[in-house]
Amino acid sequence: MKRILSRMLKLLFVLFFLIQICVFAALFWWKFNPVETTMLMIVNSWQNTEEAQHEWVNYKNMSPYIKQAVIAGEDGKFLEHHGFDWDGMQYALERNEKNETIVAGGSTISQQLAKNLFLFNQRSYVRKFEEAIITVMMESLWSKQRILEVYLNSVEFGENIYGIEAASQYYFHKNSRNLTKQQAIFLAALLPNPKYFQNHPNHPRLHFRERFIRKYIDSSPIP
User: CATH number, domain at 186?
Assistant: 1.10.3810.10
**What is the tens place of the pLDDT at every residue in 136-175?**
999 999 999 999 999 999 999 999 999 999 999 999 999 9
- 67 sits in which H/E element: helix 64-74
First-to-last CA distance in the chain? Answer: 55
pLDDT value of position 5: 82
CA 63 – CA 78 distance, rounded (Å): 18
Rounded to 10 degrees, the C-alpha dihedral 192/198/203/204 comes to: 30
**Interstrand relation of 161-162 and 156-158 (parallel, antiparallel or unpaired):** antiparallel
DSSP reduced 3-state for 143: coil
Which residues of the chain fall short of a pLDDT of 50? 100-104
The pair phi, psi for residue 33, each rounded to 5°, is: -125, 150
101 vs 128, 195, 223, CA distance in Å? 18, 21, 34
Q: How many domains does the chain have?
A: 1
Is-contact 60 75, C-beta < 8 A? no
What stretch of H or E contains 161?
strand 161-162
Amino acid, res. 148: L
pLDDT value, residue 102: 45
Question: Which letter, b or e, does each residue of 15-50 get, where b requires 16 or more Cβ atoms within 10 Å of its Cβ?
Answer: eeeeeeeebbeebeebeeeebeebebbeebeeeeee
Q: Which domain holds residue 215?
A: 2-219
Query: Which amino acid is residue 147, in one-letter code?
Result: I
